[in-house]
Amino acid sequence: MNIRANALRMLAIDAVQAANSGHPGMPMGMADIAEVLWNRHLSHNPADPSWPNRDRFVLSNGHGSALLYALLHLTGYDLPIAELKRFRKLGSKTPGHPEVFVTPGVETTTGPLGQGLANAVGMALAERLLASEFNTAEHRIVDHYTYAFCGDGCLMEGVSHEACSLAGTWQLNKLIVFWDDNGISIDGQVDRWFSDDTPKRFEAYGWNVIRGIDGHDADAIDQAIVRAKTCASQPTLICCKTTIGMGSPNKAGSHEVHGAPLGVAEIAAVRDVLDWPYEPFVAPQEVAAQWDARECGNLLQSRWQSSFSAWMASNPEKAQEFMRRTSGHLPPGFDAHCEQMLNSWAKRTEAVATRKASQDAIAELASVLPEFLGGSADLTPSNLTNWPACQSIQPEGSGNYIHYGVREFGMAAIMNGLYLHGGFRPFAGTFLMFSDYARNALRMASLMRIAPIFVFTHDSIGLGEDGPTHQPIEQISTLRLIPNMDLWRPCDALETAVAWQEAVRHRNTPTCLVLSRQNLPVQPRNAKTVQEIHQGGYVLVCEPDGRQADVVLIATGSEVQLAVSASAQLAAQGLHARVVSMPSVQRFLSQPKAWQHQVLPPGIARVAVEAGATMLWRAFVGLDGAVVGIDTFGESGPANELAHHFGMTSEVVTKAAIGVIR
């Protein structure tokens, strides 16, 4: 067995043993593939993990994290051996599964199987689109491969179908995926639950499939990669037959080696089999030297840098734009442009659906954000995520609008990959109801602290006749529960514009924009309240001057109008109500306490109104307050009839307010 591959095997099993936790099987099984790919093909520079033209490497079967850490350490990334000794320990740079921005060289956070593959599809698409935008006949500034490792688990997951089907349609020929065909997953031999003909399946997607590669034969692997690179219009799947736990004399080939340390005795046996007489965590100098990719990496990047400089000399503006885009900065004047939009929108008087206002905002922002990359999961006419100047993407790489088809999970995971690659600001839509299909990718975006924008329209029973299967109830609340997720549910066009501005401005937080199907009236505002929208919650309608409010009505989105009407009805009865619009609960809760108390004065009774689950609002109104909401599934019927049926009317809000005023 190859000594460099054995260095990976030993580091991985030593790390797992030290942690007394982790997955030795996959690193031992894929070590030979990794060795060939990283030493003979991967174009990267350990000294600069953010080099824009590096090849991307995604470990979709993230349970094999120890393999990636061994690779990063040996090739010369800033990952000292001390970090491998602290594998899976609190605060180490070697967490249980790979986490982007924690470990230099890790491109995306993986572990939830299948999503890494979808991220890789997004990265390969980003490369294609950026290349077509920035390359010239003389200079290929963007020209790299995206490689992914995946296991049986990734391919059993449905999201692999969604993403890989699109990769075939998009003809992403610079995406090269290695399938770790070891016949094993946690429960044992997979033929009892995974009997698909995987090569045929990928051929049906339009992939170039290289079958029957011995995943322990370095030359066969190398030749497969060479062949994959010659493919002009198809992504490639290299099917690698491997033995899980290769090198372990008593456990190789069995699911026992998937997710438990080998144990002291078996590791000693591995040392014998691999003829590896070194101490744990020690690789001999000559092996370490063979792995060291720093010099070669510097050379690769400096070659690219010279080409970049020459290109920059003849394309100075393009080069500025490329650097801005890949560093993720907003164009100068972005906020001024937004201010202008807000000022002109403040004069709007017509009622519009917030999905329509969102489309107007997209059109305004797209004119200054060439990084905007829109899309929808086959609901463009409903989500209104397109804009007049947008162009559908084409396989050769033009366009800025993605038809993801009916693939919500794939869409969100691909968006994460597009964002991680750099150069784009992806946003895309579906019905709020189907955010559940995409949920884990939304969570991953939040965890990774990246900022794709998810546009969710048809946000309540207000969508009407489509009925309970399409009417979200608990979705708004549950999305708010995801840490680091910002959710905006605007009540009119102006709040929608602010929500878009905030979503674009924030680069470490993904945003859900939750929008209505139905028209919503313009709410009264002044220059001060327009600015206050940015705080997430603010006083929209004040109690009369000099009087204390009897009740505070808190509402979001389409229910703000109910609270405003209720405040008028209460006034007619001599009761003073304050109306607080709270388009972003998270943003409001991140404001200083003084602001929160100014908006929601302590000691005054409160009523919250939102056409969805009531539980979260208890935190705002207390046990003595009231929540007007919906805790059952919806019904099929015209929207106005449903509003009465579910008590989503101003009369009900008024009654609830009277009920809580003591």
Q: Which does 186 bind (CB under 5 to 8 A by kind): ligand TPP, Mg ion, none?
A: ligand TPP
- Segment contacting ligand TPP by CB under 6 A, of 87-95, 126-134, 145-153, 402-410: 145-153
Residue 224 host element (H or E)? helix 218-229
Q: Judged by CB under 6 A, does residue 244 bind ligand TPP? A: yes
Q: Judged by CB under 6 A, does residue 24 bind ligand TPP? A: no
Hey, is 499 helix, strand or coil? helix
Q: What's the alpha-carbon Rg for the chain, to the nearest Å?
A: 28
Q: How far is the CB of 94 from ligand TPP (least distance, A)?
A: 18
Sign of CA dihedral 580, 584, 589, 594: negative
Q: Would you call 176 exposed, middle or buried from its count of C-beta atoms within 10 A (0-12, 13-18, 19+)?
A: buried
Q: Judged by CB under 6 A, does residue 61 bind ligand TPP? A: yes
Binding mask 78-117 for ligand TPP (x = CB under 6 A): ---------------------------------xxx----
Q: Judged by CB under 6 A, does residue 26 bind ligand TPP? A: yes
Q: Judged by CB under 6 A, does residue 12 bind ligand TPP? A: no
Active-site annotation holds for 635: no
Distance of CA 343 to the CA centre of its chain: 32
Q: Which does 253 bind (CB under 5 to 8 A by kind): ligand TPP, Mg ion, none?
A: none
Q: Which does 113 bind (CB under 5 to 8 A by kind): Mg ion, ligand TPP, none?
A: ligand TPP
Strands 188-189 and 56-59, bridge-based pairing:
unpaired
Q: How far is the CB of 255 from Mg ion (least distance, A)?
A: 9
Q: Which residues bind Mg ion (CB under 5 A)?
A: 151-152, 182, 184-185
Enumerate the β-bridge partners of residue 594.
none
**Token couple for 469:** 């299967």
**Which residues ranging from 148 to 187 are in contact with ligand TPP (CB under 6 A)?**
151-154, 157, 180, 182, 184-186
Distance of CA 20 to the CA centre of its chain: 31
DSSP-based helix, strand, coil % in the chain, nearest 5: 45, 15, 40
Q: Which does 580 bind (CB under 5 to 8 A by kind): Mg ion, ligand TPP, none?
A: none
Q: Output 24 or 537, the one with its CB closest to Mg ion.
A: 24
Enumerate the β-bridge partners of residue 402.
375
Binding mask 554-583 for ligand TPP (x = CB under 6 A): ------------------------------
Q: Output 180 or 360, the one with its CB closest to ligand TPP.
A: 180
Distance in angstroms (rounded) separating the CA atoms of residues 149 and 172 = 16
Instruction: Report H helices in 457-605.
Output: 475-480, 493-505, 527-532, 560-572, 585-589, 593-599
Strands 188-189 and 146-150, bridge-based pairing:
unpaired
* Residue least distant from ligand TPP (Cβ): 151
Q: Which of 83, 127, 364, 408 is catalytic?
A: 408
Q: Measure the N-to-C terminal CA separation of the chain; round to a whole number of Å.
A: 81
Q: Output 107 or 180, the one with its CB closest to ligand TPP.
A: 180
**Which residues ranging from 418 to 447 are in contact with ligand TPP (CB under 6 A)?**
none
Closest to 45 (Cα-Cα) out of 298, 312, 389: 298
**Token couple for 594:** 């003084």
How many residues touch ligand TPP (CB under 6 A)? Answer: 19
Query: Which amino acids are annotated catalytic?
Result: 408
> Can you give the binding site for ligand TPP, defined by CB under 6 A?
25-26, 61, 63, 111-113, 151-154, 157, 180, 182, 184-186, 244, 258
